[in-house]
Amino acid sequence: MAQALRVGEWERSMTHETLLPYLREEAAEFADAVAKWSRTQDGATETELLNELSDLLLQVLFHAELARRRGSFDLDDVAAAFVSKMHSRAPYLFDGGDDVITIAEQERFWEEGKRREKGIGQR
């Protein structure tokens, strides 16, 4: 993305705001591909899922590069925020255990993590 933003006039003209319609479009196309895959589950729809996920990844990379250019954060920071969020909301993934955790437990951990992140529920 850095190179695209260096040499591409269209890319250089983009902002987080002007990219939003593309993000929405790609998310909708992925949702359509999932719906199609749910009906067919064939190799062609697997390829569609792959391609649409790559389009969503492009959006993540583009937004992260825009933020990096203004000195706010970069892709490494996005990845670190993801890992931090998962530690907070799904700590069982990092405890070394192999026991299956119930959906109810997962939902409880997730909500507790969200509350902690927002500073709610800490007493």
Contacts of residue 85, Cβ cutoff 8 Å, sequence gap at least 6: 113, 117
In whole angstroms, give the CA distance from residue 6 to residue 20: 21
DSSP 118: T
Q: According to CATH, what is the number of the domain 1-73?
A: 1.10.287.1080
Tokens of 114: 């969200």
- The domain segmentation of the chain, as residue ranges, is 1-73, 74-122
Q: How many CB atoms lie within 10 A of CB 64?
A: 19
The helix or strand, by DSSP H or E, that contains position 29, with its residue range, turns out to be: helix 16-40
What is the distance, to the nearest Å, from the Cα of residue 24 to the centroid of all Cα atoms in its chain?
13
Task: Chunk the chain into consecutive blocks of 10 residues (it has 123) and report each block's average pLDDT, rounded to whole numbers.
Answer: 96 98 98 93 90 98 98 98 96 94 97 90 49
